[in-house]
Every structure is written in C-alpha cells, then in structure tokens.
C-alpha cells in the first residue's frame, strides 16, 4: 500500500471513530462530558506526579529524599481520593442506566468502560489492604536489596511471603470485580487487560519450542562472534545518543519542537504524557553498546506515547493499550530496527566519526554480528534477542503456579534453578544471580513479566503487517529514511490509543489473531542469515 493510501486509510478510521456517538440524548451528553472532565483531572494529576518522580530520579538533590517521599505520598493520596469520588460513581451509574447508553459510539463507550474499570479497581480494594500492600512493598524492596547483596534468599523469603499473601488477597478481590477465571488472571489483567493465563500459556509454549530449535541451530553454527572495542568516553556516547534520537525523530531541547528529553539515570526508563515524554539512559564508559540500545528502546516507548491521537488527549482512550503493546514498540526500535544492518548502513560511519579514536578500525559487519551475538546467560537484562523470552517464560511459569497455590515461596529457588538448567542450560550458583536477580517480585509486580515476551510476539506480528503493506521498508531504512516506518506506526498502531484491549487491538492493527509465528519467522530469518543456517 502506498504511503498516501495508508494515510487516507488512517484518516477515515479516525473520522469514523469521531462521528460515532453523535445524536446522543442531551442528559447523557451532559453526564458524559462531566465524567470526562472529572477524569481529565486524574490524568493531569498523574502527569504531574510523573514529573515529580522523574525529578527524583534525575535532578533532585540527595538530601531531599524524605521531603520527596512526603510529596509523592500526598499526591498519591489526592489521586486516590479523586479516583474514588462518589460523584464519579453516580455519574457512571446514571450514564449506564440511560436509555441512550447502548447507542453510544465506540469512543464514548470505551471511555466510560475505562473510567469504570479504574473506579471499580480503586473502590473495591479496602483502604486497609491498599495501605498494607504499600507498606509491605517498601519493606520487601528494602529487604530484597540487602538479601541480594548477601546472596541470602532466607533473609528475603519471609518478606516476599507477606507480599505475595497480600497481593493474593487483592487478586482474589480483583478476580470477582473483573470476573476472571483465576486470581493470576486478575493480576495479568492489570498490565495486559483481558489477557488470560490460558492464552499466554498457549503462545509461550509455542514460543519456547521455537526458541529451543533456534538455539540448537545457533549452537551448531561454526561462525564465531569477534569481540569489538567497547570503551567510548561518555561525551561521545551522548553524541551518539543524540544522533539516534534525531534519526528516530524524537526531539529534545534545544529544539523548539521538543516534546521529549534525555537524561542519565542508574536504570533507563520512559515517563510522561503526550507533549512531555522523557527518556533516560545509562552510560557505561567500558560498554558503549549498552546505552545505544537503551536509547533506542526508550525512544520506542516515547514515540508511542507522543504519537497517540492528539484529539484524544486528556480522555481515557488517549493512552497506551497495554504494557505488552508498549513493549512491542520499544522492542521494535531496539531490536527489529536497531539491531538490523539496514538501520546502521547510513549511520555507522557517522557513529565512527563521533569517536574515531575508539572506533576507527571497527567494521560494520563485525558490529552487527557483535550486537546480535547469542549466548545463554543467567541474567535476564544481559540476555540477547533469542534467549530473552526464555527468561520471561520461566518467570511466567513460576508466577502462575505460585498464585495457583501449586508451589510455595520457599520452593522458588529450587524451581528457578531447575528451570534455568532445563530451558537455558545454565547452572545458577547462588540466588542473587537466580531468583533474586529482578526487582519485580520484591516490588509486588506479579503478572507483569509476561508482557515483556508478549511485546516481542506482538512486534513480530506488527513487522509482518508492515512488511506486507510496505515491502520496501528495509531498503528505505538502508537509504537513511525512517519516515515510512514512523508514518506506518502512527497510522496503524499509535492511532488506536486505548480503544481496544490488546487481544482485539492486535487483530485490528495486524489483521491476525495473537500468534507467535511471525516473531519466530523473523528470528529464524535474521539469525539464520547471521549464523549461516
């Protein structure tokens, strides 16, 4: 499909959504507007909290820690009170009882649904439980840090147990509210609405099988990966980051059109809303590649947020679809595009010119092979594109059994270590490089891990759909232009905002049901070429 056609197609979509819901009865229109207005305050307050949190990670003087925790606690209390406002409850009731409700347009219905979902989640959880979880989360994180440093799971175990118990209580309440089959489904639903354990298990099993086959082929490959020079001074790395952001069309100050910015933090992240979406990276002086892929990953997240339909700003559907879809966008820029030869073809010599003292002798094919080297590792965040999802699958399998009561907190290390041996063939020496490596479980984020792998699966479907409509996209990339890709993503992904839950979104956006095949095909093709099979 030509670019113009894609754009036209997109325009008609948007117009259709806009006109649906005309001819609403006056009282319904008025109540709906009130609801949206009330919810706008929640969105704006949330975006202000994001700035305060961003400041804490990037600019805050160290002495301000206690004051900042007071500020965040107060804002979160104000936010919670706004969320559970009885006026919102009444509006929701009146709107849903209105005779005209069923004739509401898609946009309005979805907006009402999203407000109601948040209202139910916030009101159904007893305040006592919310506070207990907040308190225990702080304790668990703190204990996790100490236990990880001491390589002592027994120290962490009782605090993890308490947090799991409290979140089980919450999950059981959510299960009723959301009418899910299991408590773990209710947790999954927080990050990936309407996604089920069953559906996840199905695609993850296929994925695991496919990755196993691929890994075996790579292991048999005779092509070794050459080490490359990795030391690049931080100010050169900053220049490389600027080049990448510019290439992707993510503008930062002093550009007068900037709706983003880049700063340095310990762990990279993206935060913000529409016209103010900021990313961070971490510069390792001994490993310049690390920041490159952090910048590409976070820029992928940021472009999604910035690219949501402007006409939906301040309304519930003017938000990302899910964590998984968000991750599809970051992985797409980080891996599919960012680790491709086509992407680097026009950029490689520019990068070398930024740090010629370090990179003068580096060759593009060495670089591409290096950034795509596959190695079975113990640590998720150090793993490559092929093994990454195996790390996630292990966590998913453990989480679902834990919340199904099939395994106990005390058994986690043994099960973890066995699965790492079975799936990745590595031997875990201690629990700090094993079950305690991630912050997620200590932070009460259960049901979150699967979205990382789902994001990869979605990215495969998305790339396949893009490829079908624009078979030339890789050639355009090699020619130095990301314009078509950016336009396509805007017109086929970002344009949906939060209009659908992810399962339905992926169908609308790619034309196919959730399937792991395109992602496996993409990996097979890419690594087959690199490793010669």
The answer to whether residue 365 forms part of the interface with a copy of itself (CB under 8 A) is: no
**Residues that contact a copy of itself, how many (by CB under 8 A):** 38
Report the C-alpha dihedral over residues 61, 62, 65, 67, rounded to 10 degrees.
Answer: -40
Nearer to a copy of itself, 72 or 503 (CB): 72
Q: Is 68 in the site for a copy of itself (CB under 8 A)?
A: yes
Residue 388: asked if its preceding bond is cis (omega within 30°), the reply is: no
CA angle (386 as vertex; 198, 262 as ends), nearest 5: 100
Stretch that binds a copy of itself, among 110-118, 271-279, 483-491, 512-520 (CB under 8 A): 271-279
Query: Least distance to a copy of itself from the beta carbon of 154, Å?
Result: 32
Instruction: Provide, rounded to whole angstroms, the least separation between the CB of residue 42 and a copy of itself.
Output: 10
Asked if 485 and 477 touch (Cβ cutoff 8 Å), the reply is yes
Q: How far is the CB of 25 from a copy of itself (least distance, A)?
A: 29
Within 10 Å of residue 444's Cβ, how many Cβ atoms? 20
Query: Which residue in this structure is represented by tokens 């299991």?
Result: 182
Locate 238 and state its tokens. Answer: 């900053």
Tokens matching residue 186:
């209710």
Closest approach, Cβ 248 to a copy of itself, in A, equals 15
Question: Is 298 marked active-site?
Answer: yes
From 298, 305, 334, 385, active-site residue: 298
| Phi (first) and psi of residue 497, to 5 degrees | 50, -130
Of 63 and 97, CB closest to a copy of itself? 63
CA 240 to chain CA centroid, nearest Å: 24
Question: Candidates 65-73, 207-215, 323-331, 433-441 — which segment interacts with a copy of itself by CB under 8 A?
Answer: 65-73
**Residue number with CB closer to a copy of itself (256 or 405):** 256
Cα 386 from Cα 366, distance rounded (Å): 19
Q: Nearest-CA neighbor of 289 among 227, 342, 331?
A: 227
CA 275 centroid distance within chain? 19
Minimum Å distance from CB 317 to a copy of itself?
A: 17
Residues 229-258 that bind a copy of itself (CB under 8 A): 251-253, 255-258
Give the residue with the Cβ less far from a copy of itself, 1 or 44.
44
Q: Rounded to whole angstroms, how far apart are CA atoms 460 and 158? A: 40
Instruction: Name which of 122 and 459 has its Cβ closer to a copy of itself.
Output: 122
Helix (H, G, I), strand (E, B) or coil at 271: strand
Residue nearer to a copy of itself on the CB measure, 319 or 383:
319
Interaction of residue 320 with a copy of itself, rule CB under 8 A = no
Nearest approach, Cβ of residue 320 and a copy of itself (Å): 17
Cis amide bond preceding 148, omega within 30: no
Contact residue for a copy of itself among 37, 70, 411, 422 (CB under 8 A): 70
With 0-12 / 13-18 / 19 or more C-beta atoms within 10 angstroms meaning exposed / middle / buried, residue 373 is middle
The CA distance from 339 to 369, in Å, is 9
Rounded to a whole number of angstroms, the minimum distance from the CB of residue 78 to a copy of itself is 6
> Is 228 strand, coil or helix?
coil
- Our CB check for a copy of itself shows the closer of 275 and 401 to be 275
- Characterise 532 by phi-psi region: left (phi > 0), alpha (psi -120 to 50), beta (else): left
**Is 273 an interacting residue with respect to a copy of itself (CB under 8 A)?**
yes
Cβ pair 368, 436 in contact under 8 A? no
Cα four-point dihedral sign 390, 419, 197, 317: negative
- Joined together, the tokens standing for residue 208 give 């695991």
Q: Report in angstroms how near the CB of residue 257 gets to a copy of itself at its nearest.
A: 6
State in angstroms the smallest separation of the CB of 267 from a copy of itself.
Answer: 18
Contact characters 274-303, a copy of itself, x per CB under 8 A:
xxx-x-------------------------
Residues in the chain: 533
66 binds a copy of itself (CB under 8 A): yes
Joined tokens for residue 182: 């299991």
Q: Quick one: which segment of 7-15, 103-111, 210-218, 272-280 binds a copy of itself (CB under 8 A)?
A: 272-280
Q: Tell me whether residue 485 is exposed, middle or buried, using C-beta atoms within 10 angstroms of its C-beta: 0 to 12, 13 to 18, 19 or more.
A: buried
Collect all residues with Cβ–Cβ distance below 8 Å to 138 and sequence separation of at least 6.
none
Pick between residue 1 and residue 48 the one whose CB is nearest to a copy of itself: 48
Where in 186-225 is the site for a copy of itself (CB under 8 A)? none
Q: Are 116 and 92 in contact (CB under 8 A)?
A: yes
Q: Does 71 bind a copy of itself (CB under 8 A)?
A: yes
Binders of a copy of itself among residues 39 to 58 (CB under 8 A) are 41, 44-45, 47-48, 51-52, 55
Q: Which stretch binds a copy of itself (CB under 8 A): 72-80, 185-193, 234-242, 521-529?
A: 72-80
Q: Does 9 bind a copy of itself (CB under 8 A)?
A: no
Q: Among residues 3, 14, 20, 64, which is the contact residue for a copy of itself, using CB under 8 A?
A: 64
- Return the closest-CA partner of residue 389 out of 459, 321, 322, 488: 459
CA distance 476 to 156: 51
- If the CB atoms of residues 37 and 422 are measured against a copy of itself, the closer one turns out to be 37
Contact status: 62 vs a copy of itself (CB under 8 A): yes
The residues that touch a copy of itself, with contacts defined as CB under 8 A, are 41, 44-45, 47-48, 51-52, 55, 59-64, 66-68, 70-71, 74-75, 78, 251-253, 255-261, 273-276, 278, 314
Active site residues: 298
């Amino acid at each position: 499909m030509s670019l113009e056609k894609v754009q036209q197609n997109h325009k008609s979509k948007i117009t259709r959504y806009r006109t649906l819901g005309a001819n609403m009865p006056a009282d319904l229109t008025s109540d709906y507007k009130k609801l949206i207005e009330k919810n706008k305050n929640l969105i704006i307050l949330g975006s202000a909290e994001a700035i305060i949190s961003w400041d804490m990670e990037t600019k805050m003087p160290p002495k301000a820690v206690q004051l900042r925790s007071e500020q965040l606690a107060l804002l979160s209390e104000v936010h919670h009170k706004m969320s559970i406002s009885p006026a919102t409850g009444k509006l929701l009731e009146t709107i849903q009882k209105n005779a005209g409700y069923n004739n509401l347009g898609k946009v309005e219905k979805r907006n009402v649904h999203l407000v109601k979902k948040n209202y139910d989640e916030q009101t159904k959880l007893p305040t006592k439980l919310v506070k207990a979880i907040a308190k225990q989360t702080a304790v668990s994180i703190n204990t996790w840090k100490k236990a990880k440093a001491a390589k002592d799971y027994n120290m962490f175990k009782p605090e993890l147990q308490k947090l799991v118990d409290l979140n089980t209580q919450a999950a059981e309440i959510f299960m009723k509210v959301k009418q899910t089959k299991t408590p773990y489904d209710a947790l999954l639903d927080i990050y990936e609405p309407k996604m089920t354990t069953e559906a996840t298990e199905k695609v993850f099993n296929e994925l695991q099988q496919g990755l196993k086959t691929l890994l075996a082929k790579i292991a048999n490959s005779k092509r070794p990966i050459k080490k490359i020079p990795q030391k690049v001074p931080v100010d050169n790395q900053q220049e490389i980051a600027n080049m990448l952001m510019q290439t992707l069309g993510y503008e930062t100050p002093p550009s007068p059109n900037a709706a983003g910015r880049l700063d340095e933090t310990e762990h990279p992240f993206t935060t913000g809303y529409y016209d103010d979406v900021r990313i961070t990276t971490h510069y390792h002086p001994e490993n310049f590649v690390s920041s490159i892929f952090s910048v590409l990953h976070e820029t992928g997240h940021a472009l999604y947020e910035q690219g949501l339909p402007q006409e939906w700003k301040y309304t519930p559907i003017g938000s990302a679809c899910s964590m998984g879809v968000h991750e599809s966008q970051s992985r797409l820029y980080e891996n599919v595009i960012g680790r491709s030869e086509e992407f680097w073809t026009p950029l490689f010599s520019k990068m070398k010119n930024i740090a010629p003292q370090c990179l003068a002798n580096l060759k593009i094919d060495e670089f591409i092979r290096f950034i795509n080297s596959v190695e079975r590792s113990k640590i998720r965040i150090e793993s490559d594109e092929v093994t990454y999802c195996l790390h996630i699958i292990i966590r998913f399998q453990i989480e679902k059994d834990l919340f199904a009561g099939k395994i106990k907190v005390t058994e986690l290390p043994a099960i973890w270590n066995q699965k790492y041996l079975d799936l990745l063939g590595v031997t875990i020496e201690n629990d700090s490089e094993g079950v305690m490596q991630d912050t997620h479980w200590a932070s009460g984020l259960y049901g979150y891990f699967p979205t990382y792998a789902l994001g990869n699966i979605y990215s495969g479907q998305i790339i396949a759909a893009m490829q079908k409509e624009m078979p030339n996209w890789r050639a355009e990339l090699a020619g130095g232009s990301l314009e078509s890709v950016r336009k396509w993503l805007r017109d086929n992904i970002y344009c949906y905002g939060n209009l659908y839950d992810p399962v339905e979104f992926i169908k609308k956006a790619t034309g196919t049901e959730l399937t792991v095949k395109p992602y496996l095909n993409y990996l097979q093709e890419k690594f087959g070429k690199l490793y010669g099979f």
